[in-house]
């Protein structure tokens, strides 16, 4: 109750409600940015871009919300509300139901006793949202802690018809050697035209888990360390936020200097790079979001990372308590301001 009252005072600007859950049901949230007719993820200029040329507003531990009764949640509002208000990247932790049974898989953050959702049910919600929003492209970044990928494939089934499969995803040589993605991504318009509008990245590699075999590995399960890099994420204060590429991204082929000095530019240009923009304190706390989710600070971080990465656009910026601040509007403006060379779309 203390957490609810403190956190919703931060959200609402004052003690307007008796409890946090009253605010969940009646809060007036900032609407998603107004989309342009014929736009892709809201903007016409995005249609000629690929997913490595736009920034998706994203949420850390997207499933963890007060609305869905999580204790110590990362957000006030659930995945459906996030999508409705402009969020386009979801970071998901996926666990077996218990130590012996992998179905139904759950969305939770380690200790599922503090809150958990059924993965398949949430994926059906996302699939229904995609059906109702045919010009939107989204990305899921999974941390899958199960031992078999058949369970994951079954739980993700509602989204499978929408899933894009990159040609490098099932390249055994690239997977064995952890070679970064080389082949180009399709444009958002091409993804929309083919209705393959979901990219799934997984931090737990099916190929390795499956004894270095693709047998039974879903093609849509893109290896995090092959396709992405990220900045660090163990920030304690907003002053610590920076664009330095995480050491865990550097353990395979990719290091910060690659962006500036790579002799194989395709290894950098086609790689997704994520910005973690939340503070790692013992528990998620909305007062820290009041500090780091300021619009001008988020824009400053995006601009700084783009400059430090020699023009490489951050593919995601992930926050806690997304409804504090205007992340969807910040990224909308950022994407609008970064047209492709020679474009007349702006």
Domain map (residue ranges) of the chain: 1-30, 39-337
Quick one: average pLDDT of 13-23? 46
Mean of pLDDT values over 325-344? 87
Average of per-residue pLDDT across 309-335: 96
307/16 Cα distance (integer angstroms): 42
**Count of CA atoms in the C-beta half-sphere (13 A) of 315:** 25
| CATH classification (class only), 39-337 | alpha beta
236 — pLDDT class (breaks 50, 70, 90): confident
Can you state the angle between helices 327-337 and 295-308, rounded to 10 degrees?
40
Look at residues 224, 240, 220 and name the one whose alpha carbon lies nearest to residue 232.
Answer: 240
Does residue 257 carry a pLDDT above 70? Answer: no
Tell whether omega for the bond before 322 is within 30 degrees of 0, i.e. cis.
no
What angle is formed at CA 38 by the lines to CA 37 and CA 41, rounded to 5 degrees?
95
Q: Which residue from 84, 15, 33, 107 is spatially nearest to 329, judged by alpha carbons?
A: 33
Asked if 318 and 278 touch (Cβ cutoff 8 Å), the reply is yes
Strand 56-59 to 316-319 pairing: parallel
262-309 residue pLDDT tens:
444 455 678 899 999 999 778 888 999 999 999 999 999 999 999 988
What six digits make up the tokens of 346? 């702006």
Lowest mean pLDDT of 2-11, 209-218, 318-327, 332-341, name the range.
2-11
Contact 95, 106 (CB under 8 A): yes
Q: How many CB atoms lie within 10 A of CB 68?
A: 19
User: Given this model, what pLDDT does residue 344 score?
Assistant: 55
d(CA 95, CA 279): 24
Q: Which residues make Cβ contacts (< 8 Å) with residue 203, sequence separation at least 6? A: 141, 142, 143, 144, 224, 225
Tens digits of residue pLDDT in 195-233: 999 999 998 878 777 777 777 788 899 988 888 889 988
CB 42 within 8 A of CB 137: no
Torsions phi, psi for 229 (to 5 deg): -145, 170
DSSP character string of 152-186: HHHHTGGGGGGB---TTTT-HHHHHHTPPP-SPPP
**pLDDT score of 191 more than 70:** yes
Instruction: Answer yes or no: are the C-beta atoms of 144 and 152 closer than 8 Å.
Output: yes
Q: Which of 247, 232, 227, 240 is nearest to 164 (CA)?
A: 227
């Amino acid at each position: 109750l203390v957490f609810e009252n403190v956190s919703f005072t931060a959200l609402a600007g004052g003690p307007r409600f008796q409890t946090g859950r009253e605010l969940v049901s009646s809060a007036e949230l900032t609407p998603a940015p107004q989309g342009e007719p014929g736009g892709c993820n809201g903007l016409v200029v995005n249609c000629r871009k690929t997913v490595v040329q736009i920034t998706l507003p994203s949420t850390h531990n997207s499933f963890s919300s007060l609305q869905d009764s999580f204790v110590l949640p990362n957000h006030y509002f659930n995945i459906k509300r996030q999508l409705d208000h402009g969020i386009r990247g979801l970071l998901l932790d996926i666990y077996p139901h218990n130590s012996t049974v992998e179905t139904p898989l759950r969305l939770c953050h380690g200790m599922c006793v503090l809150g958990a959702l059924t993965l398949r049910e949430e994926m059906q919600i996302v699939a229904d949202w995609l059906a109702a929003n045919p010009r939107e492209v989204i990305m899921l970044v999974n941390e899958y802690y199960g031992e078999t990928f058949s369970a994951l494939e079954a739980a993700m089934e509602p989204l499978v018809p929408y899933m894009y499969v990159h040609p490098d995803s099932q390249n055994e040589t690239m997977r064995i050697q952890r070679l970064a993605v080389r082949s180009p991504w399709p444009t958002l318009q091409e993804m929309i035209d083919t209705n393959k509008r979901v990219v799934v990245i997984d931090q737990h590699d099916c190929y390795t888990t499956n004894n270095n075999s693709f047998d039974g590995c879903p093609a849509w399960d893109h290896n995090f360390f092959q396709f992405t890099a990220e900045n660090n994420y163990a920030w304690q204060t907003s002053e610590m936020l920076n664009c330095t590429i995480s050491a865990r991204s550097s353990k395979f082929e990719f290091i910060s200097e690659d962006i500036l000095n790579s002799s194989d530019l395709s290894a950098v240009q086609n790689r997704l790079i994520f910005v973690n923009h939340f503070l790692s304190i013992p528990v998620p706390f909305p007062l820290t979001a009041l500090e780091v989710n300021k619009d001008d600070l988020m824009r400053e971080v995006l601009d700084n990372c783009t400059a430090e990465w020699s023009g490489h656009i951050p593919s995601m910026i992930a926050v806690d308590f997304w409804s504090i601040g205007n992340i969807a509007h910040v990224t909308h403006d950022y994407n609008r301001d970064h047209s492709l060379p020679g474009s007349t779309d702006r």
